[in-house]
Each structure stands twice: as structure tokens, then as C-alpha cells.
A and B are shown apart, each in its own frame.
Chain A
Amino acid sequence: MMMSTPKKILFYILLVISAFLVFFPVMYAFMISFMSGGEILQGKFFPESIHFDNYVKVFDRLPLMNYLINSFVVSFGVMLGQLVVCSLAAYAFVFIPFKGRDFIFFLFISTMMIPWEATMIPNFFTIQKLDWMNTYQGLTVPFFALAFGTFLLRQHFKTIPKELHEAAEVAGLGKFAFFWRVILPVSKTSLVTLGAYGFLTTWNMYLWPLLVTSTDQVRTVQIGLKQLQSQEVATEWGVVMAGVIVVIIPTLLLLFAGQRQLQKGLTQGALK
């Protein structure tokens, strides 16, 4: 896009302002995590000196490392589960003709309109009956079937020329081999997108882990943060913010890693 210089300057100013607005809370949290209690109450923005007391405290007070590992296992598990289930479902919806396929697909998609919270109670009973409380499978399995993910992958699979499927058929490639050796490599971009999405939403999940965990054993990091707040009469915000920053870091790392992959995938472009 070609723009004249004044226009460009205006654009950049606007962009900087909005970036600042969006990023301000995180910046502020970052600053607070270095402050002592007194400084926070004075309402300063920049800490007087950088010291890591709050970070030491947060690791002391909570089994934060433990929580981080739990969060990681759960998020990673959900991500893998979603990728497997959604890609297989999308494959069936695109490449295997069967009666009522479109109808079933739309039925499947229409579940996107039911908010997750509405299914929470039945899911909770199921997990309870299965005796999966306080287990990783209780935290992950309910999220494997994701209508949105199936939809996303189906749309991508549909752009794969049908001749590719036919060429594989002529070559004698089986259904699963075709899925594994052609479809998945060709759809890397969408898989990465879906993976990042699945990981992040699970990482930030709060309500469900709160429901199905009652011990520290498999509890995730978001619950941990909440615990920090309510444990004492007067919340030590510095400590809470230190925790928040620790929790954000993996998310950011993943975003950076994912973005590189994404860009690569997008610029690779045309299928032919």
C-alpha cells in the first residue's frame, strides 16, 4: 500500500496509541510486579528499583511450578486431542461421501451456538460418574471435540484439489495413509492455527478446572492466581502480578513461535 508521508505519520500515531491502550494493563502489571506494597498504594507507574522479592514470594507461597506443569500438560493434551479429533472429523466430512453428510455436519456446527457453560453441568456429572475428578483426563477429554476446529479444518481440506485425492487413489494409497501423508502436511497452516488456539484457550480456562479439581495435585495455574488473591485479608498485589507475569510468559512464547510458523505457512501460498 502506498501512502503519502503525512498520512503515514498519522497512521502510525493512531497505531501507537491503540497499541498502548491495549497493552497498558499488561505493562502496568509488569511494573507492579517489581514494586513493594507501599509503592503500589502510592499509585506509581514506575518502580523505584527493580527487585525480585515478589517473584520469590509467589513461588514460595504456592506450588507455582507444579501448577505451571499441570497447566502445560492439560493445555498440551487438549491441543493434541483437538487436533486429532477435529482433523479426523473434518477428513470424514470432506473426503468420505456418506448419506446425510451435510446434515450431520450442520448439526455438528450448530453446537457452536450452545455456550460451553450450558453443557457444564451434564459434563460435570459425567466426569464425576467416571470418577475422573482431580485427574488430567477429567480436565482434558471434555474439550477434545471442538465444532469450531472441525469447521476450520473442513474449510481448509475443501480447498485441496480433488485430483490430489484421486491421484492418491490411483497410486493405491489407503484412506489413512492419504490422510497422514498428504492431507496433514498440506494443511500445516490450519493445524498450527488450531493448535495455538486450543492451547491458549485451555491455558486461560478457569471455570472448569475450578469445578473438577479439589486438590493441588492437578490444579492449573489460573486457579493458583485466584488462590493468591483470596488467601489473605489484604491482597499483596505485587505478588499476584508477579504470578500473572509468570503465567503470561509461556503464552507469549507460544504466540511468537506460532506466528513464525504461521507466516511461513501463509507465504508458501498456492497449492498447485
Chain B
Amino acid sequence: MKKVELIGVSKSYDKKTEVISDITVSIEPGEFFVLVGPSGCGKSTMLRMIAGLEEITGGVLKIGDVESNWLPPSKRDISMVFQNYALYPHLTVEENIVFGLHVKKVPKPERKKRCEDVAEMLGLTPYLKRKPRELSGGQRQRVALARAIVNQAPICLMDEPLSNLDAKLRAHMRSEIRQIQRRLGITMIYVTHDQVEAMTMGDRIMILHDGKIQQIGQPIDIYNNPANPFVATFIGSPPMNIGEGKVGSAKNEIVFSEEAKIAVPEKDWPLLKSDTIIIGVRPEHLKAATKETKAEDKVYVKTTNVEVLGNETIFSFDMGGREWMAKWTGQWRIDVGDMVPIVINYDSLCLFDSETEKIIKTPSDIENHVFDKEVFI
């Protein structure tokens, strides 16, 4: 268990453009910290800087309260899973797994035991005597994982370690990694571009975009309270619907198409300072209109695509030139082209400032989805 701290860390490959800029974050001992972001945002670069494989061009990196900018990788107490596995092609799976232990001069019986344990855990026992080239992509990836886990280093860095596994195995590995991390108390820094992995595994998530921090926080907080439209659309599936809204001249309603206007309660009028505003609403917060719904609250939308996924129905429609989606539980018999009446509730809206893109209002009616343990009798 060790703390990892980044203070104003930045990285530039060509001394002109920064691929990572001003990252300040403190990763607690034993924490499962997930780095997530779209392809090319600098996740691997950041991980490699922590590992000492890439020079830090600005700022300070502290590992366990010791400034470590110039420490060689082997002195940083880390183990690492590489994005492209980096298995030694001339060694068998077993030799690959114990390679690091061999270097650290762990006694042979202990090596063997640890290797067998981890192989068992990751389902690699039948392949121990094979060479990496005789394995499938997913199996290689598991060998790479095993090699990192077997070290029991206090800090573990993983770069998209599950990207090549099928859905079922991936779900299994997620919980396996999580359990190992808890049991050994490893400080884990985990890179992924899969928001499901980020949401389910992380104690905290950091969302990166173009090398800049968008938001750091617990998965649920980020989901409920996204800092900006980028985060809102990145976390959650299907993504949050985003639209441009005009603020009505009386500053008491938001207009985002002829037929869709939303009245703003009086207490929130001070929020509507500028003429335009960015609104966001999660697909599951768009409700079907019922008989009791007042006519002026109904919005008729024309469906462009319908997907029925067993117990939920997702349909898309056009709203002010953007594709929006709604997610309703149950199997709804909706056809493409149908006019569907929906309700956009003001309480479930997110509002973002149109200039700074900062959030100014979070959904306030989400309590009907949050259950405390008191619910159980």
C-alpha cells in the first residue's frame, strides 16, 4: 500500500504541444483508481509517467511521499500490465509469470506456489507449459495480468487489461481483479476506455479529455453530477441527451424547439443569466406521457430507431437537430416512425453554462432511484 500523488504534472513530447497538462490528483493507499477517457486522450502516457517509462516534463510525482520524478521504474515498487501484453516470446507462460519473482530472488518453492495460485485464479493452469505465440489474444492478456498480480507490488498499473476478452470473461475478470486488489490492498491505477469497467470497478474515477482532467470523483457522483457535457455523455449508457436551449425572453422558461418548452420554477430563475443554455437529460429520465399529463407538458417525438433489449426499450428521436434517446423499462411496442408523447421534467434536467460548459444545475428528482439499506425489512 502506497500513496501516489501527482502535482501539476504535464507532459509534452515535442516541447510545443502538451498531451497531458496540469494533472493534480492524490491517489490514496489501497484505492482502486480508474483513468478513463476516449482514445488518444493521454491515459497510457500518464500511466507510463507514473511507471517511470516516460519522462515527466513538468510538475512533481510523489510515490509514498517521496518525490519520484527521476526514480528508475524498478525502484518505484510497481507492477504493470502493458496495453500490448509485452510477454517474453521465448519463455513459457509459467516462466513469463515468475520472471519478475526470479529477478527479485524469491525462493523457488514460493515462486511455484504463487504462480500456481494466480494461474488457477485466472484460468491459465492448462496453458502453463505453452509459449505465448500458442495462445489466443485473451489468454495472452490473462498471462500479462498474472505476471503483474504475482509480484504483489504495492502499486499496480494496468493499461486496458481486459480489452481483448469476451463479455462474460470480462465480467468475471472485473470482479476477480477487484477482489485481488482488495485482498492484497494494492493501490491500483487502472486505465480503460470502457465506461462500464470504470463505473463498476473504481473507488474513484478520473475522466481525461485531451490531456486535461474533466472530473474526479466516485462513479455515482460523477453519474449524478457530471461536471460538463463531455463527462455527461461519456459516462452512462446510452449517453446523456444534450441539447442547446434558448432562454425565453422573460427568463422563466427554456425553449429548445417549437413544441418543447420547459417552464423554470421561480427559485431557479437566477440561473438563467445568458440567452442560451446547454441542457442535458439522461435517457432513463425521459418519461412516457400518461392520461394525467397536462397537454402543454407533452412533447410528441418521431422515433427514428427502436431497440428492445429484453426488459428495456431504447428508442431514438430527433430533437433540435440532435439524436436523443429514451430508455424505458419493459417491452414497448413502438415502431420506427411512430409519434410518441414524452414528458421532459424540469427536475430531471442538467443545465450547463453555454460558455464555460460548467454544470449549474443537477437533477433533483433522482431520489426515486436511490435506495438506502433501510428499504430492506
Contact = CB atoms under 8 A, between A and B. Distances in A.
Given A163-B82, A272-B140, A171 B89 contact: no
A167 B48 CA distance: 11
B100 interface: yes
10 contacts: A164-B86, A166-B80, A169-B53, A170-B74, A172-B104, A177-B103, A182-B88, A182-B90, A186-B89, A270-B133
A272 B74 contact: no
Nearest to A182: B88
Nearest to B84: A163
Contacts of A182: 88, 90
Contacts of B48: 166
A161 B90 contact: no
A171 B74 contact: yes
Contacts of B80: 166-167, 170
Interface in A250-272: 268-272
Given A169-B74, A270-B133, A163 B86 contact: yes
Given A161-B84, A185-B90, A268 B133 contact: yes
Interface in A134-188: 161, 163-164, 166-167, 169-173, 177, 182, 185-186, 188
Contacts of A172: 74, 100, 103-104
Contact of B103 (A171, A185, A270): A171
Interface in B25-70: 48, 51-53
Given A269-B133, A272-B132, A171 B99 contact: yes
Contact of A271 (B53, B79, B89): B89
Contacts of B82: 163, 166-167
A272 B53 contact: no
Given A171-B74, A272-B132, A272-B133, A161 B103 contact: no
Contacts of B205: none
Interface residues of B, number: 26
A173 B73 CA distance: 10
A185 B99 CA distance: 15
Given A164-B86, A188-B90, A272-B132, 15 more contacts: A163-B85, A167-B82, A169-B52, A169-B72, A170-B53, A170-B73, A170-B100, A172-B74, A172-B100, A173-B74, A173-B103, A182-B90, A270-B89, A272-B84, A272-B85
Contacts of A166: 48, 51, 53, 73, 80, 82, 86
A185 to B, nearest CB: 4
Given A268-B133, A270-B133, A272-B89, A171 B100 contact: yes
Nearest to B132: A272
Nearest to B80: A170
Nearest to B101: A171
A167 B74 contact: no
> Which of A166, A270, A271: most chain B CB closer than 10 A?
A166
A53 to B, nearest CB: 51
B207 interface: no
B338 to A, nearest CB: 50
